Amino acid sequence: MAGGEDRLTAWLANLAGSGKRIGDDAALVEVGERRFALTVDSQRANVHIPVDLDPAAAARRLLAVCLSDLAATGAEPLWTLLALGVDDEKSARRFLAALVRRGRRYGIELIGGDTARSSSPGHLDASLTVIGEVPPGGHPLTRSAARAGDELWVGGTVGESALGLELVRLGARIVGRKARLPEGTPPDLARTASRVVRRHLEPRPQLELGLTLARRSPPGAAIDISDGLAVDAGRLCLASGVGCVFEEAAIAPRSDAGRLAAHLGLDPLDLVLGGGEDYVLLFTLPANATFKHPGCRRIGHITSRPGMNLLRRDGSLDPLSAEGWDHLS
């Protein structure tokens, strides 16, 4: 299943010695009796975000992407370190103000970093390191804790961010508190279009869900869906030495999102399985577990046999490949 990014990660883990801290959403480090989670992510113009995206929006998105990694380990955020490449002081101030203000919402403090001129004029380039801590009484979440017979759950809708990305490519933006949509968006789908554009440009990390899962015993496995449901599920299964089955009826998108996808000439199921950047948690629970959390639902189960399959509505079983976003392909 490994793409270029996964091959590089595996090679690096081997090069680094035991590599036991490389491979999860965040590195887990014990200091005395305290357990810290550390992660880093980036937002680069023309790679992750449009060149003309408001620096404040870029800052909020970068923080959310990093905090999603902490959510997947069951950690609470504490501090951030920023490396910012930007052309002018006005843009830098706007980015930094948004980062600090949004950080306060999550109880996180910016404690240092570095600034430099961007590598290309007008191209914002930012990387953020986030440090969090697994609360006392919590169990760190990892990708390797899935067991055959477990049920597979997801923390929210999947595929809508990819749908929003298509609209962003067509010119959609967030202006103030409203979404500016591309010309030709059907009026009856305008509200749906606005929702999916926000899903892409303004992700919401599921920190509370991660903390809730970490308080369970056993906590199960978890990963945040950043590169696509199929590829990230494949990573979880590979780390745990298991396979999984998705249920088509359970992973199907909302009907309005399906209609918007059809309007754009996109396959809704492809968006769900390979779209990426949903930043919701994919996690396991014991069979028949009672679990209630807003937006969460069961979408399949873990198998002892490696590989992924899709259980169709008609009862047939189709093999799935781990397709999704690969940063090095």
| DSSP per-residue letters across 62-101 | HHHHHHHHHHTTT-EEEEEEEEEE-S-HHHHHHHHHHHHH
Rounded to a whole number of angstroms, the distance between the first and last alpha carbons of the chain is 13
Number of H helices, E strands in the chain: 10, 14
Check if the beta carbon of residue 77 is closer than 8 Å to that of residue 121.
no
- Give me the sheet containing 307-311, strands edge to edge: 222-224, 281-285, 151-154, 297-303, 243-247, 307-311, 317-320
Quote the distance between the C-alpha of residue 299 and its chain's center. 17
Predicted pLDDT at 120: 81
The listed CATH number (3.40.50.720, 3.40.228.10, 3.10.310.30, 3.30.1330.10) that belongs to domain 25-134: 3.30.1330.10
pLDDT-derived band at 325, boundaries 50, 70, 90: very low
Predicted pLDDT at 15: 76
Residue environment code for 180-191, b if the CB has 16+ CB neighbours within 10 A, otherwise e: ebbeebeeebee
pLDDT tens-digit readout, 200-218: 999 999 999 999 999 998 8
Between 301 and 326, the more confident residue is: 301
Predicted pLDDT at 326: 42
pLDDT-derived band at 21, boundaries 50, 70, 90: low
**What is the signed CA dihedral for 215, 69, 245, 241, rounded to 10 degrees?**
-80
Domain ranges of the chain: 25-134, 143-320
Q: What is the mean pLDDT of the chain?
A: 92
Bridging pattern class, strands 281-285 and 297-303? unpaired
Residue 327, pLDDT > 50, answer no
Average pLDDT rounded to a whole number, residues 61-77: 97
Residue 124: what are its φ and ψ, rounded to 5°?
-70, 140
**The residue type at 158:** V
Predicted pLDDT at 8: 74
- Percent over 70 (pLDDT), the chain: 94
Q: Which CATH architecture has domain 143-320?
A: Alpha-Beta Complex (3.90)
